[in-house]
Structure 1
């Protein structure tokens, strides 16, 4: 037993690297769907979208760039899937020019999966310079803020925007953000003035700073980090990148904890079998 323990303690570190790699890659390629506890703030976002009748207007603002994609992109996919399943009229846009291409790709991609038509069931307005001022302009006159959509079509002519003259006719807005402009800007310059309901999806490092907004009802729900995205995917019955990421994280933690426990067991085992009570070494000590 001692010899086996000694061999395992001298295990080539490359074997450990392989174990960690497998624990990370396998769940990413084939998500397991480990249980995820749903937090109240994420459920509130889900419940509100679930309560909206078909044809309601849902605006999703992609206020992030590719640097925050690992955490916020899965939220966008989950929210869009839910909105299209509910037959909501979806408006996509961004307040950051660097996020335009990424945002357009996810909106058009998820829409095509649900058989939705651009201009009829959804639109992507794209980017307009001005930051928070764009929100104010949309609250006054959406067509003036975005005369054309991202594809060059006149917004006033789009069936999906019929009856939507400003943010006052939008039922629900969610900002996916990694900083400013983001959720706070949409609250200060949007919800306070024009009365729509507001939710947020942010990176894990930003989420704690928004809980005061959540506690006071200034926003009605919050999706925080990859964990929050995994919770939302679980609610809509989807095993996407967020669930896969949380599975990989959990599996890696299990492997690391297991290796730590085994190493400690082998260490004490070799120590016990090497120095026994009554032996010559113990007497010398």
Structure 2
């Protein structure tokens, strides 16, 4: 058996192991491959970067565990940036299935930055009503969320001083995995109450949001894991998203190399058989 024949007959489990290693090793030991920053991601970064200290930043974490691999790293990167800028962070969710996860990421990032709940940030939690919640927030925050997620009365919290409704928000970002999500925040929020809005979404949803971006209805868009990796690079704190992109790049490269090698071995074997038939 020739070398080409042996390679074409290789046990498929070896290929599985190669692909597995290409995925696992970059996750454990991120390389930090260069990532080109897209204008849509930089739009959100630049807006937050330009906000004065103490500005009110609303973050709506509208996703569930199914979309966590893409949107959770986005939330981590944006919260790190907001807390670094000493913004007053008001977090919430329109998805009841993601409430616990949203509370986890907000609390974790706040503790990392040394921020105090009620003073520097608040997690309002979830309120029933979907898009109606956005409309109600535009009228009165305190009737929409009388208490925060931990049960404290929201009225009187230092972080909400001077905030009555969405008109008092300096910037809002929705990280949405579906409906309600970014489009709902524009239609029922920004369009009615005139605050600036940015968005984040899973990779499959992002193309459908580009009309909002191109028309200026949102000022930036973070798309999927790639967008999260770009944001991590912008804030200089490479984490799970950059590692995920390393793993994705390494896996794609391995697949390309394997396809090329198989084709080379196939044509080499075909050439050898053609020559032997002529003899």
Q: Same fold (TM over 0.5)?
A: yes
Q: Output the CA distance in 2 between the equivalents of 1:183 and 1:263.
A: 44
Q: Say if 1:104 and 1:124, in contact at 8 Å, map to a contact too.
A: yes
Matches within 5 A, 1:116-127: 116-127=115-126
In structure 2, distance between residues paired with 1:271 and 1:135:
65
Shift of 1:103: 0.2
Shift in Å, 1:168: 1.0
* Structure 2 match to 1:188: 187
Equivalences for residues 158-169 of structure 1 within 5 A? 158-169=157-168
Match of 1:79 in 2: 78
Q: Secondary structure at the match of 2:155?
A: helix
What is residue 5 of structure 2 aligned with on the other side? 6
Task: Give 1:186 shift.
Answer: 1.1
Q: Distance in 2 between matches of 1:14 and 1:133?
A: 52
Per-residue deviation, residues 96-118 of structure 1 (Å, max 9, x unmatched): 11111000000000110011111
Alpha-carbon distance in structure 2 between the residues aligned to 1:184 and 1:274: 60
> Following the alignment from structure 2 to structure 1, what is the Cα–Cα distance between the partners of residues 235 and 91?
20
- Residue of structure 2 equivalent to 1:270: 269
SS of the equivalent of 2:203 reads coil
Task: Give TM-score, length-normalised by structure 2.
Answer: 0.96
Give the Cα separation in 2 of the matches to 1:180 and 1:17. 37
> Which whole-Å deviations, capped at 9, do the CAs of 1:11-58 have from their partners, x for residues lacking one?
111111110000000111122111222111111011111111111111
Q: Aligned partners of 1:172 and 1:221: how far apart in 2?
A: 12
| Aligned residue number for residue 90 of structure 1 | 89
Deviation at 1:5, TM superposition (A): 2.4
Partner of 2:46: 47
Give yes or no for the alignment of 1:282 onto 2:278.
yes
Cα drift, residue 248 of structure 1? 1.0
State whether structure 2 residue 126 is matched by structure 1 residue 133. no
Q: CA deviation at 1:10?
A: 1.8
Give 1:1-285 correspondences, 5 Å limit.
3-276=2-275, 281-282=277-278
| 5+ residue gaps, structure 1 | none
RMSD over equivalenced CA pairs, Å: 1.3
Number of residue pairs matched by the alignment = 279
* CA distance in 1 between partners of 2:215 and 2:126 (Å): 31
Equivalents in 1 of 2:193, 2:259: separation in Å? 55
Once the 2 structures are TM-superposed, how far is the Cα of residue 263 of structure 1 from its aligned partner? 1.5
Are 1:57 and 1:169, in contact at CA under 8 Å, matched by a contact in 2?
A: yes
